[in-house]
Every structure is written in structure tokens, then in C-alpha cells.
Amino acid sequence: MHPLRILFSLIPVISATPLGRKVESGVSLPSHVVYQFPDSPSWIENIAVRQNGDLLLTMLSTPELFLLRNPRTKSPELKLVHSFNTLTGLLGIAETTPDVFITAGGNFSNIAVPIPGTSSVWEVNLRGKNPKVCKVVDIPEAVFVNGMTTLPWDKNSVLVADSTLGKIFKVNIRAKTYELAIDVPEMHMGSDAVVPIGINGITIHKGYLYWTNSYYRKIYKVQINKTGGIATGAKVQTVGSPDVDFLDDFALDNNGNIWATTNGDDELLVVSPQGKVVVALGSSTELTVAGDTAAAFGRTKGDEKTLYVVTDGALAAPINGTITEAGKVVAVDTREFNF
């Protein structure tokens, strides 16, 4: 049995009942499978959307970056962008300038079991006919690089979360350097953590850094400054604490709602700015978004209300303890959703 399946079943239950912990009954938004890999294991870890609407998919089960062309059509085309032969898996991905993306990866002794000191950050330039891929920097002190986001006001810099250390590094793409940017308790994991993941997904919205903490199952935010650190006098705020066993990556919509994936819980959640939580899609007994790992909204006029959710096929926690499938991309129609 894959070790992560055991780990997910052993995540400790925290007895406290923080703000917004209740999850209301689901609304089951319309959805359909855009693409599913032909073989398992195929753990899709993260997703980025190009300005033309195509999707970039990072893989954790293999060190590969894929491009899914024409996701709105009945026959989208999957193309390998690059295989990173010095890594065994990829994680976060973010766009710095149009069609230039940064991704992070490392080596793993098994899927999602990181080998410390093997993390690195890479640039993928898709502006030309052929992709140009180059290493930006190694981060030898990192353990488990994961979520990533670009500083909106500094396209030369990205923030990269280390899930095990509970820290955020700032990487300067042009200078090829990195430094510690943020280290607060709300990013850490507890000493009794079975899964070595605290901070997970990160993004910046209206001057605030948002992040999920997989150990505490909370979503936090804090105001940041222009260098990517915490703004003077700013305090970490809890946005919501869904009653789930795990929180993975997420996306924000124009109303400030957080669309959060839950991996082993197999649900897509929506968390309002006030902390109200509802299940938008899925359940622990179905494959609809089984093992959902990340999400991103479309960028064209035809799909700006479509949320693309990627999955690991329930590898981390099989449905009913036994059922897994190949990773897939699911399109969720959010047009009719409201609280």
C-alpha cells in the first residue's frame, strides 16, 4: 500500500472548533471531465492557465510538465512540455510575465515523501515555437517546496511555500537568488503531524497573502508589503476552518470566495470572505473530484467562470479504501453559484 494512503488516514483530529468550521450541505455544481490520463498512478499536483486558455499541469508522480490544449473542446490535446530529468516530481507553478512560468520540484522517496535538500526552481518560457526551460536556483535548505505565487507588483519574484518547514521563500528570478520571506506559526505543522505538511497552497489577492494549512485545516491571510514580507503591524487572520481532514491548494474568484481542494476528502469547497463554507462538488464516496489537489479559473471570455480542478485519482486516500483512478482535469461551472 502506498505510504501516503496510510498517512492520510492517520491525520490527527484537532478538538478545537474555530471560526467557520461547519461545512454546509453541498450544492453539486455542474461539471464534466475535460481530460483523464490513460494510466495510474498519474498524480496531477498543480495547474496554471495560459492567456490563450490552455492549461499547464505539473505532475508529482513523474517529473513532467504537460500542456493541455483547447480544454473547452470535446477533444483537448495533451502535449509534454518538458521532463525534468534531475527531479522525480513537480509541484507549484506560477506565471510571472505572459507565457513565462516558474515551477518548483524536488526528489521524493515515494510520491509526496520528500528528500530534504533536493528542491529547485525552474523557468519555463513558452513564448517561442519551442519551450525554453532553465534552472533558476537550487534551494538546498528547503524540504518540501509546494505552493507558489508571483508578486503582482514584482514580476521578477515569486514566493514559494515549504510545507514541512512552514516557511515561505522569496525567489528572485533574474538574480537567481532566494531568501526567507515569511515564517509565522500559522504556517507550521504540529509536532505530532503524520503528514509532514503545514502551509500548502498560496496566492496573493488585493495585497493579502492567502494560504492553506493542511495540518490545522485552516485558511489564513495576512497583509504583505512590496518586498513580499508581512506588512508592518499586520496580523495573521483566520479566513475559515472547514470541517475536513485536509486542505490542499485553492483559487479565488472575483468576489473573494476561496475555492479549496481537499485531496483525501474528495470535495471541492467554497469559503466566503466571512468564513462560511459549503461543498460545491464531490464527496468521500464518489470519484467526481477524487483526490482534488489544485484549481484555477479559466482566462478567456468563454471560460472565465469555469473552475478547472485537477486530481491525483484518490492515490492519497482511495475511495472506500480501495478505489483509485488516473488523475484528471474536471471543469466546474460556477456561474450559478452564490452564498
- DSSP string covering 143-158: S-EEEEEEETTEEEEE
pLDDT of residue 280: 98
Q: Are strands 145-151 and 177-182 parallel, antiparallel or unpaired?
A: unpaired
Which among 144, 149, 154, 143 is positioned nearest to 202, based on CA atoms? 149
For residue 9, the SS3 value is helix
Instruction: Tell me how far apart the alpha carbons of residues 81 and 327 are, in angstroms, rounded to a whole number.
Output: 18
Please indicate, yes or no, if residue 29 is contained in any of the structural domains: no
> Is the alpha carbon torsion for 151, 294, 300, 206 positive or negative?
negative
Q: Is residue 28 part of a domain?
A: no
Q: How far apart are CA 177 and CA 28, in angstroms?
A: 44
What is the domain count for the chain? 1
- Domain assignment present for 113: yes
Please check whether residue 162 lies inside any domain of the structure: yes
Torsional sign, CA 279, 284, 290, 293: positive
Give me the residues paired with residue 102 across strands: 94, 123
Is position 18 within any domain? no
**Full domain range(s) for residue 317:** 3-9+36-333
Predicted local confidence at residue 26, as pLDDT: 67
| Three-class secondary structure of residue 97 per DSSP | strand
Q: Which helix (H) or strand (E) holds 62?
A: none
Task: Kindly report whether the global pTM for this prediction surpasses the value 0.85.
Answer: yes
Q: Which H or E element spans position 8?
A: helix 3-9
CA gap 42, 121 in Å, rounded: 22
**Within-domain flag for 245:** yes
- Give the Å distances, CA to CA, from 162 to 165, 203, 337: 6, 14, 33
DSSP 323: B
CATH number at residue 176: 2.120.10.30
How far apart CA 14 and CA 122 sit, in angstroms, is 37
User: Could you tell me if residue 338 is inside a domain?
Assistant: no
Residue 27 is predicted with a pLDDT of 81
Residue with cell 468521500: 284
Domain-embedded: residue 19: no
Query: pLDDT tens string for the chain (339 positions)?
Result: 333 454 544 433 332 333 344 455 568 999 999 999 999 999 999 999 999 999 999 999 999 999 999 999 999 999 999 999 999 999 999 999 999 999 999 999 988 799 999 999 999 999 999 999 999 999 999 999 999 999 999 999 999 999 999 999 999 999 999 999 999 999 999 999 999 999 999 999 999 999 999 999 999 999 999 999 999 999 999 999 999 999 999 999 999 999 999 999 999 999 999 999 999 999 999 999 999 999 999 999 999 999 999 999 999 999 999 999 999 999 999 999 999
